[in-house]
Chains A and B, each alone.
Chain A
Amino acid sequence: MAREQFDRNSAWLQAHISEIYPLHRGKHICIAGQEVFSADRIEDAIRAATAAHPEDAGWFTRFIPAVKAIRIYAT
């Protein structure tokens, strides 16, 4: 169930990403119930998301970098 919810939330984000990213740069977002919740602190985004959609175990988070840039991830 959680995986199905995760897949739905992820697909929803992909469908709306061009609207969501510009609005929430520099913020944490949590996607739950196919809805975005944004906050400066990750725990606040999760709190809002899980309060609005307590049935959704497939929530996930992203941090949207403040600066739109090409990224290299070698660690």
Chain B
Amino acid sequence: MRLNGERLECDNGVVRPVLRAEIQAADGAWRAVELLVDCAADRTVLCAHVVEALKLTGSPPIETVVGVGGPVDSIIVNTVIRVIRDDGKLVLFRGAFAACRERTALDMSVLGRDILDMFALVLDRRASVVAILGGQHTYRIVAV
């Protein structure tokens, strides 16, 4: 299984590894989102504007979300993230995800290691590869 990401220009002209996905909104519709592929993030966290856009409601957090600026006002939302595999089939990640309530705390939702650790992650800027591999897919490092 292979999920292909991309490098997209974001704030201040910086190019970041991003996975295009869809999240199920409160009304059941699937809405497009961009997820920053962030292997430094312990958890997948949805940013405030996505939570508002999808009208997701949540419950008080079980764990505190802490960013570089300190603890963040957050909630837990139950939803489903789906991603299209390279063969066109869908992968669903169903769960309780942390979500920021402060607009300035996080400008992009992040795909963290709660999901990434189930796979192999390849981030190669020189080769322009952003790939999440599982199942029958793997990678090989060779000396050239």
Q: Does B58 contact A (CB under 8 A)?
A: no
Pair B49/A65 contact, Cβ less than 8 Å: no
Pair B12/A74 contact, Cβ less than 8 Å: no
Residues of chain B having any CB pair with chain A under 8 Å: 8-9, 11-14, 20, 22, 30-34, 36, 38, 40-43, 45, 47-50, 52-53, 65-68, 72, 84, 98, 103-104, 106-108, 110, 112
Taking the closest CB of chain A, its distance from the CB of B35, in whole angstroms, is: 11
**Which residues from chain A contact B32 at a C-beta distance below 8 Å?**
2-3, 6, 9-10, 58-60
**Which residues from chain A contact B34 at a C-beta distance below 8 Å?**
10, 60, 62
Pair A75/B49 contact, Cβ less than 8 Å: no
The count of chain A contact residues (Cβ–Cβ below 8 Å) is 32
Q: Which of A17, A63, A75 contacts B43 (CB 8 A)?
A: A75
Pair A73/B49 contact, Cβ less than 8 Å: no
24 A-B pairs in the complex with CB atoms less than 8 angstroms apart? A2-B32, A3-B20, A3-B22, A3-B84, A6-B32, A9-B32, A10-B20, A10-B32, A14-B9, A18-B13, A42-B52, A58-B32, A61-B49, A61-B50, A63-B107, A64-B107, A65-B104, A65-B107, A66-B104, A71-B107, A73-B36, A73-B110, A75-B42, A75-B66
Interface residues of chain A: helix, strand, loop or mixed (majority): mixed
**Which residues from chain B contact A61 at a C-beta distance below 8 Å?**
49-50, 53
Q: Does A43 contact B (CB under 8 A)?
A: yes
Pair B11/A60 contact, Cβ less than 8 Å: no
Contact with B along A1-20 (1 / 0, CB 8 A): 01100110110001001100
